[in-house]
Structure 1
């Protein structure tokens, strides 16, 4: 890999329960991650492993206690607002719950084009056209731009969130459990959409997940987190076929392989991969 598009070096994030007098708790403990051009880095681990906190640090939605965040080799850890504006143009986020991340008082056009106007990349007279183009790109009806979030299903709402992220032409999209709240069949559709967008737009993904079936389908590399630390990193095949750490082996062993729906999905995705 050449210079990564986005990287975190020795990231630490401490929280102090009960105010300043409490004992600091390290939710993220010296984590180093990087993602390259058109690559998908999956970050996996059980609940409380620190993966979502790491995602917030990489997205500059939270500040690290120590460590550095670099965008294309430039340190943006303490970037002033002007530089952060450029960072947010390059790095976008798709959140877990689309309904809590979409303003229920705004229609789809206003939701999708808000980042565009904030970044001063377009004019209001063009927002209707741009919104319809983005809706079509993510597989939604362009004529639904005047509807509101509650008028869509969970999968459709998540596609709106993806369209909003795409509005500023980012290079990196951080997906924080972006499909975990969706039904299995809808998950597959959204994963296919993410793969198509990566192929067409050259996007890089940091994909936070606990569903290893989804990770095996989408990831190029995998980082396994436990207790705020990265315990193992490697290519998808290395992690799934020859894991080195006991924690990783236990995580893989916990996948419900006897579940018929999981097995059906795994066979379907394996067959698709063979055709790609």
Structure 2
């Protein structure tokens, strides 16, 4: 890989427990991750493995106890406010629960254009026009820009979150369990949308997930986390087809599989005449 667009190096995040003098809980333990241009890095692991804590560090939503965050090779771990604002223009986040991440008191136009206001950007096109273009890009009806989050389905609300992330033309989008709260059919639609956006806009994704079926469909590379550490990292095919670590093999073994013989019979079965 050439210089990664976003990297976390030797990241550690500790949280105090049992009072000031109690032992610290290490949620992220010496984690190094890199994502290249137009690449999807998936970070997987069971609940409590540290993957979402790592995502918050990479997005600069939380401060590392130690380690560094680099953007285009530049250390931005201790960046001043002005540099951090530029960082947030480059790295955006799509959260797990679309409803809790969207302000229920704001209509869609105000939600989608919020990053522009935060960045102090005054685009040539008005906010309404930008909102409608972004809504159309993510598969929403632009005429619904005056509606509120509760008036949309879960999948539609997540598309609003994606449109908001795109408003400032980021290079990297961190998706923190962005499809896990959606029905399976809606998951597939949102994944297709993310792939189309990556193809059209050259986006890089850090994709946090526990659903390995989703990861296999979307990722270029995979990092497996357990106990706050990366225990295995490699290309998608390497991790899925020839995992080195026992923990990775256990994760893959837990993925539900359709019995091949049953699936063959289902495809070949023809309903009796007169039945659908």
Q: TM over 0.5, yes or no?
A: yes
Q: d(CA) in 2 for partners of 1:117 and 1:15?
A: 33
Asked whether the equivalents of residues 117 and 124 of structure 1 are also in contact (C-alpha less than 8 Å), the reply is: no
Q: d(CA) in 2 for partners of 1:115 and 1:177?
A: 21
Q: CA deviation at 1:122?
A: 2.4
Give the gaps of 5 or more residues in structure 1: 265-276
Partner of 1:237: 237
Equivalent residue of 1:82, what SS? Answer: helix
Equivalent residue of 2:13, what SS? Answer: strand
Partner of 2:86: 86
Q: CA deviation at 1:121?
A: 2.2
Equivalent residue of 2:55, what SS? Answer: helix
Partner of 1:5: 5
Q: d(CA) in 1 for partners of 2:55 and 2:246?
A: 24
Q: CA deviation at 1:181?
A: 0.1
Equivalent residue of 1:244, what SS? Answer: coil
Q: d(CA) in 1 for partners of 2:189 and 2:89?
A: 26
Q: d(CA) in 2 for partners of 1:257 and 1:179?
A: 20
Whether 2:174 is the aligned partner of 1:174: answer yes
Aligned residues: 263
For 1:95-244, list aligned pairs within 5 A. 95-122=95-122, 126-244=126-244
Q: d(CA) in 2 for partners of 1:9 and 1:123?
A: 35
For 1:239-254, list aligned pairs within 5 A. 239-254=239-254
Equivalent residue of 2:122, what SS? Answer: coil
Q: CA deviation at 1:259?
A: 8.3
Equivalent residue of 1:118, what SS? Answer: helix
Equivalent residue of 2:126, what SS? Answer: helix
CA RMSD of aligned residues (A): 1.7
Q: CA deviation at 1:124?
A: 9.6
Equivalent residue of 2:225, what SS? Answer: strand
Q: d(CA) in 2 for partners of 1:11 and 1:206?
A: 16
Equivalent residue of 2:182, what SS? Answer: coil
- Would you identify which runs of 4 or more consecutive aligned residues in structure 1 move more than 4 Å? none
Equivalent residue of 1:135, what SS? Answer: helix
Partner deviation per Cα, 1:134-176 (whole Å, 9 max, x = no partner): 0000000000000000000000000000000000000000000
Partner of 1:30: 30
Partner deviation per Cα, 1:186-235 (whole Å, 9 max, x = no partner): 00000000000000000000000000000000000000000000000000
Q: d(CA) in 1 for partners of 2:245 and 2:163?
A: 38
Asked whether the equivalents of residues 117 and 123 of structure 1 are also in contact (C-alpha less than 8 Å), the reply is: no
Q: CA deviation at 1:84?
A: 0.3
TM-score (norm 1): 0.93
Give the gaps of 5 or more residues in structure 2: 265-276
Asked whether the equivalents of residues 51 and 228 of structure 1 are also in contact (C-alpha less than 8 Å), the reply is: yes
Larger Rg: 2
Partner of 2:272: none
Q: d(CA) in 2 for partners of 1:207 and 1:248?
A: 17
TM-score (norm 2): 0.93
